[in-house]
Each structure stands twice: as structure tokens, then as C-alpha cells.
Chain A
Amino acid sequence: GESVGLHLPTLSVQEGDNSIINCAYSNSASDYFIWYKQESGKGPQFIIDIRSNMDKRQGQRVTVLLNKTVKHLSLQIAATQPGDSAVYFCAENYQDTGRRALTFGSGTRLQVQP
């Protein structure tokens, strides 16, 4: 099997509970943020995004909160389900000398216990 996750912080929750995954970003000039979900053996999938002129954005069962003062982003998943088990990455986007750069954080593994 694949040896993964040894370097990742892991959040373990019970099915039905709410999950909160945190991310600290590095660039105060970042103006757009994305949360991605990556299941084992697959590429990252878009979950939700937020612009820097917003503090909160809600999707289906997910909410992203942005605190620009402390450069912190969080992803809240309501009523966590086994299918939510995956690695979650935050990404920040900023203008960098002629290109828009998307930089990914180190990821958090979410384990949902049935």
C-alpha cells in the first residue's frame, strides 16, 4: 500500500460531528483563497473559495472563514460523513510579477470515524 500522511497533521472526528480545519497563509497580499479536497490516488478537487474582501462564505455543508488580521483561513464541515475523509489543502492566490501564483499549504488529513 501507499505510505502517506506521515507528515500531515490529522484531524479525527466522529461521523455526524462538525469538523474545523485550519490553515495559516503566508502572503498578506493574497487576495483569493481556495480549499481543495484530495482523496487517495486522486487529484485535488475544488471545495470552496473566498475573496479577500469577504470574511465568510458558505457552501453546501461547508463554510470558509477568513481572518486577514492574523492570516488565517478555516474550513468548517457540518455533519461530517465518511466520504469527507481526505486530505484538505488551502491555497492562496496573489499577483506575482506578472502572473497569478497559487501556493498550496501543507494539508490536513481528515479521518471520519463511523
Chain B
Amino acid sequence: EADIYQTPRYLVIGTGKKITLECSQTMGHDKMYWYQQDPGMELHLIHYSYGVNSTEKGDLSSESTVSRIRTEHFPLTLESARPSHTSQYLCASSPLTGTSGRNEQFFGPGTRLTVL
């Protein structure tokens, strides 16, 4: 079982509030990811990191920001939440694969965010 944790699991918050979604993994993985998933829809990559002090934007544009100060921690921040940010946010991690090609990602349980 993957050791990757997300808090909070559920969050209901008002428009304009600043929020931080936490993600931590205890597997020592170098690579970490944030996905956004609307109910019943596919996952969209919004941020990823290949190591400490490395962060990149993903395929889906997002107003959120991330930081990677420690290997095990990859928080996502929304400076001013809006109803359009209502979604599920999934954090994942994977080990560096070198040239092996494998890229199995281990997922956390997700944070379901509702912005009123």
C-alpha cells in the first residue's frame, strides 16, 4: 500500500480565501504530481516536481501554485479560491526511473474542494 497522504480530505470554503492542500509521501520518491479531477472525468496534470526546488506546470492551466522544499512534501496553494476551483485534487508520487521507462504513480486519497 502506498504511503502518500493528503489533507484535508474535504474542504468547503468561501470565495476569496487562501487555501493550501497538503501532500506528503514517506516513500522517498523524487517525483511528485498534482492532478485535478472533476466527478466522473479524467485526471488532468496541473503541477509536477522532479525533486527539491523543482516545480513545473502541467498540461492543464491552473491558478494554483506549488512548492517543493522537502522531498516528502508537495503542498498546493490557491491564493484566492473561486467557485471554478471546485474539484477533486489528487496528489501522486513516483520514483525516478532512469531509462527503464516505468512511471508508475502512487496516488493519495484526494482532497475534495468546494468553493462557495
Q: Do B50 and A44 touch (CB < 8 A)? A: no
Q: What band does the interface of chain B fall in when counting residues whose beta carbon is under 8 Å from A?
A: 20 to 34
Query: Assuming A42-B110, A43-B90, is B42 touching A102 (CB within 8 A)?
Result: no
- CB < 8 Å neighbour of A6 from B40, B45, B105, B108: B40
Count of A-B contacts with CB under 8 A?
69
Q: Do A5 and B40 touch (CB < 8 A)? A: yes
Q: Do A99 and B43 touch (CB < 8 A)? A: no
Binding site for B on A (CB under 8 A): 2-8, 31-32, 34, 36, 41-46, 49, 51, 87, 89, 93, 99-107, 109
- CB < 8 Å neighbour of A8 from B40, B92, B102, B112: B40
Expressed in whole angstroms, the Cα–Cα distance for A49 and B102 within the complex equals 9
Residues of B within 8 A of A104 (CB): 42-43
Q: Do B39 and A3 touch (CB < 8 A)? A: yes
Query: Assuming A5-B40, A99-B48, is B101 touching A44 (CB within 8 A)?
Result: no
Shortest Cβ gap from A90 to chain B (Å): 10
Residues of B within 8 A of A5 (CB): 39-40
Residues of A within 8 A of B108 (CB): 43
- CB < 8 Å neighbour of A44 from B39, B41, B90, B97: B90
Q: Do B43 and A44 touch (CB < 8 A)? A: yes
The 18 listed contacts between A and B (C-beta, < 8 Å) are: A2-B39, A3-B40, A4-B40, A6-B40, A7-B41, A34-B103, A34-B105, A43-B90, A43-B109, A44-B43, A44-B90, A49-B104, A87-B40, A89-B42, A100-B97, A106-B42, A107-B40, A107-B41
